[in-house]
Amino acid sequence: MTKIASIEKNAIFPIGEPIENEYFFGTAYLEMLLTDSALNAPIGNVTFEPGARNNWHTHEAGQILLVTAGEGWYQEEGKPGQLLKAGDVVNIPADVKHWHGAVKDSWFVHLALTPGETTWLEPVTEEYYQQL
Ligand code: MN
């Protein structure tokens, strides 16, 4: 069984399709579970391959991450990275610059509740990521 097949077999929510934009490094997958939610917060299931992560970014109305599988990083600018595992919840305030993604050697899966717009910034450099 391939890695992705194994992840899919054990996944709680659908994995979806590879994310095709310039704001992610490596391969990540997105399945939107709700786009027009009653709380005005679309919910996406995001699956990162090992080493994959998003650029630094901000959310105008904040974001909540619910980790469902694997191991990953969440980091706010100027603070140490937080190691995340299944069951962790991250409450990201509005307009706080941050990034999230997988650790080097594990897949990472989280639900992302994201009301409002996201502003994408610069990539997390390889040198920086490798020092975590
Ligand atoms: Mn975010």
Residues 5-59 pLDDT 10s = 677 777 899 999 999 999 999 999 999 999 998 999 999 999 999 999 999 999 9
Kindly give the distance from the C-alpha atom of residue 109 to the centroid of ligand 1, in angstroms, as a whole number.
Answer: 13
Kindly give the distance from the C-alpha atom of residue 98 to the centroid of ligand 1, in angstroms, as a whole number.
Answer: 6
DSSP assigned state of 35: S
Token pair 């069951």 is at which residue? 87
pTM of the model: 0.94
CA distance 73 to 79: 12
Kindly give the distance from the C-alpha atom of residue 4 to the centroid of ligand 1, in angstroms, as a whole number.
Answer: 23
Kindly give the distance from the C-alpha atom of residue 16 to the centroid of ligand 1, in angstroms, as a whole number.
Answer: 18
Question: Which tens digit of pLDDT belongs to each residue from 42-56?
Answer: 999 999 999 999 999
Kindly give the distance from the C-alpha atom of residue 1 to the centroid of ligand 1, in angstroms, as a whole number.
Answer: 31
Contact 6, 103 (CB under 8 A): no
